[in-house]
Amino acid sequence: MVSKKIPCDHFVINIIKEVLKKRHIVQSQEDLTFLVLDKLKKYDKKFVLSPRRVRKLVIKIPNIEIKAKTKRSPKMKKLDKCPVCKRKVNKIYGKNLLNKKIHIGYICKRCGYTTDLNSLMPMKYLFIWKRKNKSLFSK
């Protein structure tokens, strides 16, 4: 069995900062994880890192802005009444990857009709290094 090592938060945060400072922008959660893990492995080849953890840590870094790109489908439409039984439908909410409550679909509580707006879910994340506080971080 290959042993794995979990790098500590502080260490990963420093590497994330390093990567984003250099690149300014990273186009996806997966790319960011790959870049960070690549650097981590220079310290120890056993280090492992999940995209989920990277995102959680990024949220703690005030210098990094996360932008979610949402893809909208043209067939998505507002629904007031259940198409099956004509009762008023309720909205279904879920959480997106940034832990924000978002509207994801409709449910009819009488007949159980549901529709979900998967097309409203964010498709892509951008990680942007903000350079506003550069004086605080200058070497």
Catalog residues that contact Zn ion under the rule CB under 5 A. 82, 84-85, 87, 108, 110-111, 113
Rounded to a whole number of angstroms, the minimum distance from the CB of residue 81 to Zn ion is 8
48 vs 85, which CB is nearer to Zn ion? 85
57 vs 82, which CB is nearer to Zn ion? 82
Distances (CA, A) of 39 to 2, 33, 105: 20, 10, 40
Rounded to a whole number of angstroms, the minimum distance from the CB of residue 86 to Zn ion is 7
Rounded to a whole number of angstroms, the minimum distance from the CB of residue 14 to Zn ion is 53
The encoded tokens of residue 96 equal 């997106």
How far apart CA 24 and CA 132 sit, in angstroms, is 12
3-state percent breakdown (helix, strand, coil) of the chain, nearest 5: 35, 25, 40
87 vs 131, which CB is nearer to Zn ion? 87
27 vs 112, which CB is nearer to Zn ion? 112
The answer to whether 6 touches 48, Cβ cutoff 8 Å, is: yes
Rounded to a whole number of angstroms, the minimum distance from the CB of residue 78 to Zn ion is 16
